[in-house]
Structure formats: structure tokens, C-alpha cells
Amino acid sequence: MSFQHQIRVRYAECDQQGVVFNAHYMSYMDDTTEVWLRSLIRSSNEPQAEWEWMLVRAALEWQSPARNGDLLDIDVGILRFGNTSFDFGFIGTVEGRPIFRGRSVCVTIDKATLKKIPTPDRMRQMMGDLVDWDIPK
């Protein structure tokens, strides 16, 4: 299962070359993840989830520039499930042109204690089947 989120590149996110400054791609990945998982939690009618997720590692591979005003489509899906961790995969495009690929490794945590916990089965089920994307590790 995957989800697509669209972000319009803003002027302030571009560097002196007129393209998106590299650090903003990580923010775009984080925003896409947040929108997707929060929508899954709301649509499942799950009471306040007792779990959260926390980033432990991220990798990004730039492919071509995005510029001010571009509509950046970001696809996100789950690449891997471990016992307490999972990997989000990201593919960013503008009008079908590859912009970036990325991976975020996250751990599942208890919302109250912020301690690592096994990923709940209901969380795995909400995020759906793994995607088979070629994303850097």
C-alpha cells in the first residue's frame, strides 16, 4: 500500500541556484509521513493511539532539481517491517520527472514513555503491504 502527498515548492525553500535546498527534501518526507499516518489513524476510528514513531536514520538520493512553484508529488510506502522498527520509502516526482528517492528508518515507541516497543499488529495492518521500490539504504 502506498500514499501520495503533493507539496508546492515555495520560494524560501530554494537556494541561490533556484532549486530546492537539499535539507528541505527531508522535511517533505516527514510531512508526507505525518499526513499519511495521521489519516490512517483517523480513518481506522482508533482511539488515541498509544504508539508513535521516531526517526532513527534517513537516506536521500537526489535525481534532478525541483524549483519554486513546482508541484512535488511524493509517494510513501513501507519497505520493511522489523520487530520494533520499520522503513518508509519515498519517491518524489514533478510531472513524472524523478526528483529524489529516500528512506526513513523509524522505531515504534510508547507514546507516554517514549521507549521503544514492538510495532503493534494493528499499526502494521493499517500501513498495508510492503512496497517493492528500489530505494537506497
pLDDT digits (tens, 9 = 90+) for 67-126: 999 999 999 999 999 999 999 999 999 999 999 999 999 999 998 999 999 998 888 888
The domain limits of the chain are: 2-127
Measuring CA to CA, which residue among 68, 74, 69, 70 is closest to residue 3? 74
For residue 133, name the pLDDT band (cuts at 50, 70, 90).
very high
Instruction: Please tell me the total number of residues recorded for the chain in this structure.
Output: 137
Fold exhibited by the domain 2-127: Thiol Ester Dehydrase; Chain A (3.10.129)
pLDDT for the residue numbered 61:
95
Q: What angle do CA 25, 91, 14 make, to 5 degrees?
A: 25
pLDDT for the residue numbered 48:
59
CA-CA distance, 94 to 130, in Å (whole number)? 24
Residues 28-80: pLDDT tens digits? Answer: 999 999 999 888 877 776 665 778 899 999 999 999 999 999 999 999 999 99
